[in-house]
Amino acid sequence: MERRDFLKRTGLTLGFLVAPGGLLRVVDAHACGEEGDVDLNAWVHISNSENTITVKCPTAEMGQGNYTAIPLLVAEELDADWRTIRVEQAPAEKAYANPDDFNVQGVGGTRATQGYWRTVRLAGAQARAILILNAAREWGVSPAECNTEPNNVVHAAAGRKMSYMEVAKLDNVTLDASLITEKHLKPSSQWRLIGRDARRLDVPLKVTGQARYGIDVQIPGMLYASILRPPVAALPQPLYGDGAENGPMKVDSAEALKIEGVVKVVELPHAVAVVGTDYWATVLGKRALKVEWRNGSLASQYDSEAKKREWATLAADRALKGRTFGNAGDFDAAFKTAAQTLSADYVTDHAHHACMEPFNATASMMHNDMELWSPTQGQTWAQQVCAKVTGLTEDKIRVHTTFLGGGFGAKTEQLPNAETAMLSKIMDKAVKVIWSREDDIKHGAYRPLAAQHLDAAIAADGRVLGWSHRVVADSVLARVRKTAWDQNPAIDSAVAVGMTQPYGIPNRHHEFVHQASGVPVGYWNAVGSGYTIFAVESFVDEVAAKLGKDPLQLRIDLLTDTRGKAVLERVRKLSDWSRPHDGMAMGVAYNHGGRGHGQIAQVVEVSVNRSSGAIRVHNVWAVADSGAVLQPRHLRQQLETGIIWGVSAALREQVTIKDGVVRQSSFNDYPVPRMDEIPEIHIELLQGGPELLSGAGQLGVAPMAPAIANAVYRLTGARLRALPMLPERMKLALGVMQGLGKQRIDSAT
């Protein structure tokens, strides 16, 4: 096709690549194949026939709002009319990699808007510059004389206006505009879209049922597969070729093959797959299999209850050295000379993601190409693992990212994609793998079990002079980035995040002691801070109790960060912190947001049923400062979901493992909150400034557990130092309190 004809027929497509220096350069749009068959690497597509502007979203949409937030940043700098914006999921290509997240295309850790903040705004600004250049050429004027208003290029001196769609129809459209840099981006005073509520683009699709999740994918003639896995908890990493140590040793498939609809039984290195013409046939076939398994992994010896006791002992043993980071002063000297000291131990069980949509994926391999439909959080990783198990090169793997029915870090895992890729290659047909709920819960990548020991050194005048925090846990990075970890073992940033507390204590010691468990541990919603902030913020309250100080005021006194002080001062007023309570009590916790530097303070109001031991959260007041607020309503939604997640993890969610076997199997024994159990949530937003940007997806999760535990102590006098705070643990604490004549107790686990 001639370029002129191509542009007329397909609209104007503007593509960008990130140069080594980080600046965007225009790349030529190109057409492939027959007329109308177009393969584009682009952020912005303007269609004059549909009167729309399509923006590519590089990350998965799993309810967190990226499908709206990232295109909104493009639209802001493009000066687009939001009503004409449409979104398409970007393919898996290097041009869409997140520069702030290992330079891969994926999403997690609240890094989406932070990572793409600069790149996509530059893309929008470059697109705007190209539109101005072409309109100016048509008018025979300098681009410097032109400006834009939503969806229009304007030449005010002559009173002329040309819509973006009209620019797309011009002959000889050039993409060779001057290079855009950060100095060309809009100042915050000119923002039209950022900071205001825009309609979420995924919501109409979900309300009308048009949104397609991975579980919805249907390919003509495709087969289904259910997979029987070993009883031992195992989630192999196919990139590293592991899993065979627990794989099948002897398979009797005779009964399975008799079931109508079962086509084939396939032995995989780590499991046995039953392939059939419908899903239910494969489920019945899976149940009919008789398999003898190898039992060669460390996980087969794992007992989570025993590990908690063992690791708690290790956490308190300062002779066992780990990896230190973020230290200051001389804690040992401060502790030895302190007028008072305080120590406490905290333990947390494994927790799971329990996404509403279990793992699934669909692959179709034809000759030397493969298409993958997957609700994945990591398109780059999906390409890599499919290439690994099929022998194809990564550029031959085309990834279609569907909507995700929950992710929470679970869907960074790539085993489902590997399974469907292997089976499609073997069957020479499209194959859809669906994990059952039991598969999902018994074979997850769980939040690590952790034991923590904290010490404080207090001067005679009540000043906190020393703080030590040791965490004993398995490593997420040692599993998911095994090669890099083996080459350079270091602090696990996923596991240890949140340990470096923000309080202005001069002598600080932080230490991570790695213990390999063999059980798969992985990313989770606020994975490390889910337990480190529990320990830090509970221990701050213990220090306050020892000093006889108000715990909220002590935090304000200790903090050096003005933004942190501000959210605490505001939540004190919002919650009416000092008011009297009837049968309830309040607790407070603060989260400095770790890597993202967001700030949040939360106050909860709880009651305790002393006969059943059940803890109920009635109210949550939260004040957050996450820097620039892209969309206020959206941010509140993010914080609300984090708070609900935090309540659930604090009170209910527990995975227990005996001899390597997970005891939970579905929502009957891995419960999550029902609607009538959700507290009233009151949120107020502060803004730290337009140039500050932090993620909000995980910000509200971590403070919930310590706030609840602190409220329980103020109500009952019992300290809960174990997560989750199950009714039986609460009853044990109350029983111990009664046995001690209601004296202060050290722990109730």
Structure tokens at 631: 């969309």
Domains of the chain, each with CATH number or no CATH: 16-206 (3.30.365.10), 214-296+359-434 (3.30.365.10), 304-351+446-740 (3.30.365.10)
What is the predicted pLDDT for the residue at 13?
64
Read off φ and ψ for residue 163, nearest 5 degrees: -70, 155
Question: To which residue do tokens 């604090």 refer?
Answer: 650
Report residue 188 as tokens: 């915050």
Predicted local confidence at residue 692, as pLDDT: 73
Task: Determine the pLDDT at residue 696.
Answer: 84
pLDDT per residue as tens digits for the range 8-20: 455 666 655 444 3
68, 631 in Cβ contact below 8 A? yes
Residue 609 CA to residue 645 CA, distance in Å, equals 22
CA–CA separation, 327 and 500 (whole Å): 8
SS (H, E, C) 364-433: EEECCEEEEEECCCEHHHHHHHHHHHHCCCHHHEEEEECECCCCCCHHHCCHHHHHHHHHHHHHCCCEEE
Nearest in space to 588 (alpha carbons), one of 678, 464, 499, 712: 712
pLDDT for residue 5: 52
342 with 467: CB under 8 angstroms?
Answer: no
Instruction: Give the number of other CB atoms < 10 A from CB of residue 9.
Output: 13
Provide the 10 A C-beta neighbour count for residue 251: 17
Q: Tokens for 133, please give them.
A: 């250049």
Task: Give the DSSP H or E segment for 315.
Answer: helix 304-316
Q: Is 68 helix (H, G, I), strand (E, B) or coil?
A: helix
Please spell the DSSP secondary structure of 491-541, one letter per residue: --HHHHTT-S--B--SEEEEEEEE---SS-B---TTTTHHHHHHHHHHHHH
Q: What is the pLDDT of residue 20?
A: 38
Q: Which two tokens stand for residue 254?
A: 């005779």
Structure tokens given for 408: 């929470």
The reported pLDDT for the residue numbered 47 is 84
Specify whether the CB–CB gap between 574 and 623 falls below 8 A: yes
User: Which of 413, 401, 406 lies closest to 375, judged by CA?
Assistant: 401
DSSP letters for 10-32: H-EEEEEEE-TTS-EEEE-----
The H or E element that residue 482 is part of is helix 482-487
Residues 546, 718: contact at Cβ < 8 Å? no
Residues pairing with 446 in the sheet: 521
Q: Read off φ and ψ for residue 190, nearest 5 degrees.
A: -105, 5
Residues 156, 468: Cα–Cα separation, whole Å:
65
Given a contact cutoff of 8 angstroms between Cβ atoms, the answer to whether 270 and 247 are in contact is yes
Find the farthest-apart pair of alpha carbons in the chain and give their distance in angstroms, rounded. 91
- What does the pLDDT read at residue 170? 85
Burial (Cβ within 10 Å: 0-12, 13-18, ≥19) of residue 478: middle
Task: Note the pLDDT tens digit of each residue in 60-72.
Answer: 999 999 999 999 9
Task: Identify the DSSP state of 152.
Answer: E
Over the Cα atoms of the chain, what is R_g? 28
8 A C-beta contact, residue 658 and residue 304: yes
Tens of pLDDT, residue by residue over 359-373, are: 999 999 998 999 999
pLDDT given at position 16 = 53
Q: Are 136 and 156 in contact (CB under 8 A)?
A: no
**Average pLDDT over the chain, rounded to whole?**
91
Residues forming beta bridges with residue 378, ordered by sequence position: 106
Strands 223-228 and 152-155, bridge-based pairing: unpaired
> Nearest 5°: phi and psi at 38?
-120, 130
CA atoms 543, 545, 546, 551: torsion sign: positive
Count Cα neighbours of 633 within 13 Å in the Cβ-side half-sphere. Answer: 6
Residue with token string 């073992």: 489
DSSP string computed for 721-738 = -EES--HHHHHHHHHHHH
**How many whole angstroms separate alpha carbon 240 and alpha carbon 415?**
11
What's residue 25's pLDDT?
A: 44
The strand order across the sheet containing 431-434 reads 262-267, 272-276, 223-228, 431-434, 360-366, 369-374, 397-401
How much is the pLDDT for 42? 66
With a cut of 50, list the residues of the chain below it in pLDDT.
1, 3-4, 6-8, 17-41, 741-749
CB half-sphere exposure, 719, CA atoms < 13 A: 20
Show Cβ contacts of residue 630 under 8 Å, excluding neighbours closer than 6 positions: 69, 72, 73, 113, 194, 195
- CA–CA distance, 30 with 34 (Å, rounded to integer): 12
